Amino acid sequence: MTTKSGQLNSPDHLSKQLDRFAIEVPSWGFANTGTRFGKFVQPSAAHTLEEKFADAAQVHQLSGASPSMAMHVLWDFPNGMHDVAEVRDLSRHYGIRAGAINPNLFESQHYKYGSFGNPDPGIRQQALDHVLESVAIARELGNVDVSFWFADGSNYPGTQNIRHRIDWFQEGLSRTHAALAPGQRMLVEYKPFEPAFYHTDIADWGMALLFARAAGPQAFVLVDTGHHYQAQNIEQILAWLQRENMLGGFHFNDRRYADDDLTLGSIDPYQAFRLFHEILSYHWEHPQAAAPAYVVDQSHNLKNKLEAMLQTVLTAQELYAKACLVDHAQLAQLQRECRLVEAEECLRSAFWTDVRPALRTWRRERGLPEDPLQALRDSGYVERMSRERGSKYASAASSYA
């Protein structure tokens, strides 16, 4: 396709962009997780870290776009640093890189009143110890990102001193930063509510930005689609964070109401497209800028987990491909001249372009199945896992009943 400004959005141009596109999958997306009301277990779900690696490898082999897997320390490294050698072996064996390391600062009973924001200095220290071990694990795995999401907050006005908690958080994050190896990054995620319903200690991008800035130059902000109030302009947040060189990563999912963790693009594909566009447009102007980490953050209770993960990666690829078709030079000119309808149409026409034929070609040329979801069904992998894992974990499954 040739654009009016002469920039070529040729199949070749798109292929090169797709070659560079990668989105990390989360280990927790392959395991039996659910809502706070209960979970519907799937016999094919992964229980061990090896099974999660095996499932991630399936997604990557079929999509060619998800070469790494994010992990949660408590769930995936029950023996902490002692598990690093095994993770390295699994990573090599399954051809999946270890991705971001997520400390778990919400599951222990000690964290009832918070982790880094807990009024009890002993519990803050316990949280810091866990975080420092997470940093060490991430360093051992090749300086991968350490990604922080805190459930900290309070449920009722007057029950916690918000300012003191800011100080405690800042101290914890700064001490974490001091332990980073050169080149290693820490990402600070924010969320306005849930599980806390009155205040959360890192409620929005401004708080995350201030915390990350104060922690040090290797700290960045992580944006999660679901962690915003309804109607918030998320691409504007990306514009700001990129301008400040503070966008470290993005957690993709979709939502209808709050942090619903629905499949990316299932409710509002135009939103995901706009996010990719905002990032690509910044990089068009600043080719040397570091790209943010793209990570899926979803866990499915009803859809088959593996199918949903593959569907997500393919959707991300498709919406990214559409964003690659935006003619940045033409759009910039239309914006400068305030030709509003033409500018909007320039963006929209990329979104409405059917990139599926181009994606099929891209896959064929790389020896990937043209229809990866169908290929997954044809392979019988999910059924095989249901049989094998179903009988292996039969007693665990019945204890959920």
User: What is the contact surface with Mn ion in residues (CB under 5 A)?
Assistant: 224, 251, 297
For residue 253, give the nearest of 103, 29, 46 by alpha carbon: 29
Selected from 51, 297, 318, 327, the binder of ligand PSV by CB under 6 A is 297
Burial profile 83-92: b = 16 or more Cβ within 10 angstroms, e = fewer: bbeebeebbe
The closest residue (CB) to ligand PSV is 149
**Spatial distance between the Cα atoms of 209 and 387, rounded to a whole number of angstroms:** 47
Binding mask 12-41 for ligand PSV (x = CB under 6 A): ------------------------------
At a CB cut-off of 8 Å and minimum separation 6, what does 226 contact? 251, 253, 254, 255, 258, 259, 260, 261, 297
**Spatial distance between the Cα atoms of 79 and 180, rounded to a whole number of angstroms:** 21
Strands 199-200 and 247-252: unpaired
Q: How far is the CB of 257 from Mn ion (least distance, A)?
A: 16
Q: How many residues bind ligand PSV (CB under 6 A)?
A: 8
Nearer to ligand PSV, 21 or 149 (CB): 149
201 binding partner (options ligand PSV, Mn ion, none; Cβ < 5 to 8 Å by kind): none
Beta bridge partners of 189: 222
Selected from 201, 224, 254, 318, the binder of ligand PSV by CB under 6 A is 224
For 189-233, where are the alpha helices, taking DSSP H only?
205-215
* Tokens representing residue 127 in the block: 């949280």
In the block, tokens 């360093």 appear at 139
For residue 118, give the nearest of 69, 54, 172, 187 by alpha carbon: 172
Q: How far is the CB of 229 from ligand PSV (least distance, A)?
A: 15
Nearer to Mn ion, 251 or 322 (CB): 251
Across 82-191, the runs of DSSP E, i.e. the strands, are 97-102, 146-148, 153-154, 186-189
For residue 70, give the nearest of 134, 4, 155 by alpha carbon: 134
Q: Which of residues 157-216 bind ligand PSV (CB under 6 A)?
A: 189, 191
Q: How many residues are given for the chain?
A: 401
Q: How far is the CB of 223 from Mn ion (least distance, A)?
A: 9
Residue 254 touching ligand PSV (CB under 6 A) = no
Q: How far is the CB of 379 from Mn ion (least distance, A)?
A: 30
Is cis: bond before 43, omega within 30 of 0? no
Q: How far is the CB of 24 from ligand PSV (least distance, A)?
A: 12
Selected from 52, 177, 251, 322, the binder of ligand PSV by CB under 6 A is 251
Q: Which of residues 113-152 bind ligand PSV (CB under 6 A)?
A: 149
Instruction: Tell me how far apart the 2 most distant CA atoms of the chain are, in Å.
Output: 67
Nearer to ligand PSV, 51 or 145 (CB): 145
Q: How far is the CB of 77 from Mn ion (least distance, A)?
A: 19
Nearer to ligand PSV, 297 or 318 (CB): 297
Nearer to Mn ion, 54 or 138 (CB): 138
For residue 251, give the nearest of 189, 201, 314, 185 by alpha carbon: 189
Phi, psi of 100 (to 5 degrees): -60, 145
Nearer to ligand PSV, 251 or 363 (CB): 251
Nearer to Mn ion, 76 or 297 (CB): 297
**Spatial distance between the Cα atoms of 261 and 273, rounded to a whole number of angstroms:** 17
Q: How far is the CB of 376 from Mn ion (least distance, A)?
A: 25
**Spatial distance between the Cα atoms of 6 and 43, rounded to a whole number of angstroms:** 53
Nearer to ligand PSV, 95 or 195 (CB): 195
Nearer to Mn ion, 227 or 389 (CB): 227
Query: Coil, strand or helix: which one is 124?
Result: helix
Q: How far is the CB of 195 from ligand PSV (least distance, A)?
A: 8
Residue 393 touching ligand PSV (CB under 6 A) = no
Q: How far is the CB of 26 from ligand PSV (least distance, A)?
A: 7
Residue 102 touching ligand PSV (CB under 6 A) = yes
Nearer to ligand PSV, 73 or 334 (CB): 73
* Tokens representing residue 200 in the block: 């959360």
Q: How far is the CB of 297 from ligand PSV (least distance, A)?
A: 5
259 binding partner (options Mn ion, ligand PSV, none; Cβ < 5 to 8 Å by kind): ligand PSV
For residue 275, give the nearest of 313, 325, 225 by alpha carbon: 225
Q: How far is CA 386 from CA 26, 31, 380, 382, in A?
A: 20, 13, 10, 6
Binding site for ligand PSV (CB under 6 A): 102, 149, 189, 191, 224, 251, 259, 297
